[in-house]
Amino acid sequence: MTPFGVVLSLFLVLFTGYLLKRRGILHPSDAGVMNRLILDVTLPAFVFHALYRQRVTADMVHAAWLFAVLQVLVMALLWMPARLLRLPRPVVGTLLLTAVYGNTGFLGYPVIQTVFGKVEGAMAAAVVYDQLSVAMSVYTVGVAVAMHFGSRYESNWRELVHFFKTPTFLVLVVTLLVNALGMPIPAFLTHAAQLVAGATVPLVLLSLGLMLEPA
């Protein structure tokens, strides 16, 4: 399939979600339920399926951490001119967060799976990058920035450590441990995880379609 065909197929599923909303079959509020299902069920299965018996190299981890450091540096570089311009605190916070973070999970996984799904280690690299670089940074640095520049000035450490209790991160750690120890997983469990993981990309695209609004 050509790159154009790949992008077209993704947008077709996304647009299907929008049409289902327009027809009244699904409602915008359903996106919240779908997102919860993705984050708590299908995405952890997706992470397990992408990483199980895959070789996670030191280069993958180093690249993820390097990009996480670069994110903080970009924030610092943006903060200095924003301070000189005396921009309102909420504007500064919004600028820092939107300039650095992208939806590498919901938007990145479908593209990587469709374009590079047959390349060995591609999804494993994508998961490592997304979880250790973007997701971890969003739930820690991103939350801290939002609290500092938003209407809430007090620190809430429970929110800062929330990422480390998410099902996706816990599955990531367990899967890496299973791989390192060479522990076998029964075939029926891996197949079940594969089936559940397969629902991630369609659900993500349909959910995004439900959130679309005409200009």
Supply the pLDDT for residue 118.
77
Q: What is the mean pLDDT of residues 176-189?
A: 92
Instruction: Report CA 143 to chain centroid distance, whole Å.
Output: 15
Half-sphere exposure of residue 160: CA atoms within 13 angstroms, side-chain side: 11
Q: What is the pLDDT of residues 95-141, one digit of tens each?
A: 999 999 987 877 788 888 878 877 888 888 999 989 888 888 888 88
Q: What percent of the chain has pLDDT over 70?
A: 94
The whole-angstrom separation of Cα 202 and Cα 110 is 8
- pLDDT above 70 (res 150): yes
Q: Residue range 131-157: average pLDDT?
A: 79
Could you tell me how far CA 178 lies from the centroid of its own chain? 22
Backbone angles phi, psi at 196, to 5 degrees: -65, -40
Reported as a pLDDT band with limits 50, 70 and 90, residue 152 is low
**For residue 65, which amino acid is it?**
W
Residue 70: pLDDT band (50, 70, 90) is very high
